[in-house]
Amino acid sequence: MLQKTPFSCPAKDGLVLRGMLWSDPEVKPKAAVLYIHGMLEHYQRYDDYASFMGRQGVLFFIFDLRGHGTTTPDEENRGFFGEKDGVSNLMSDIDCVRGKMSSMLAERGLQDLPIFIYGHSMGSFITSCYVRRTQAKGFRGIILSGTNARLGVAGLAGRLARMQCILKGPKSKAILISRMAFGKYNDKCVPRRTPNDWLSHDDAVVDAYNADPGCTFIFKAAGFADLLSMLVEIGADNWTGAVPAEVPIYIFSGDADPVGQYGKGPKILYQWYKDTGHDVQLKLYPEGRHEMHNERNRQEVYEDVLSFISGHSS
């Protein structure tokens, strides 16, 4: 029977990071996944996906990033990672959750279970920074979805965000930068029902997102500055060499995903990993939008990710 086990752990600055583990004790475990979610969302949106993985013997750990969900329920700090160097906070948070994962696995006698790190959208950028800085130590594989590679405007937008931090404060709402970031994402969606149709063809998913206050807040200026600094960090084609070549990579996206420039970004990242000698796979789903795990063909996506995990878990 599927079990959902809440967990929490203190970050280095005292913030309590809150998350959930999906598992099925009646199924022999094959792997564990640490999932890093995207911008303007929270772990409760992943119940169907995580339940599927748990029933297949993949222990699925996910926590609400700082500035999001149950970790940061107050409006003042939503979309905010830190006063000065929020990226370092995010990196440290992952370390904390990895420690909690290790203790929870050890309690179950699963300390040798292979662990994969999996990032979606902004979570894929956080994941890429993390595996670059840590050389992916301790991970059996890396999964990236809804991602991108070289973003030429990230530097300029980052300077605008930092300027707003100076003029209006780091916790001021980045309304203009948010419009710049998301303003054109719906341009190719036909028909266009809502501002967030670019997420998925599934109207129910989009409507639930639009009605969720945990998904519809505006990022703070400092939060955008941190996000854009990560994009600059992983926007150079020599960074993938920091990840050991023996760590396999799986990149997937919809070819109608504006975050990945309609397939262009994932292809660039795939080539960077190829150039540095990695075992890397790329899959672009025809007409798929940003959240492939929430698209109409989500079951196919679930199975493809499971296949990658199973194939590299032995």
Instruction: Report all structural domains of the chain as residue ranges with CATH numbers, in order of start.
Output: 3-150+237-311 (3.40.50.1820), 151-233 (no CATH)
DSSP secondary structure of 74-122: SGGGTT---SS-HHHHHHHHHHHHHHHHHHHHHHTT-TT--EEEEEETH
Tokens for 127, please give them: 């994941």
Query: Would you state the pLDDT for residue 237?
Result: 76
Query: Would you state the pLDDT for residue 153?
Result: 67
Give the separation between CA 193 and CA 207, rounded to whole angstroms.
Answer: 10
Q: Are 222 and 83 in contact (CB under 8 A)?
A: yes
Q: What is the mean pLDDT of each run of 10 residues along the chain (314 residues)?
A: 97 97 97 98 98 98 98 96 95 98 98 98 98 98 94 77 95 92 92 96 98 97 95 88 97 97 96 96 98 98 98 94
Q: Are 249 and 280 in contact (CB under 8 A)?
A: yes
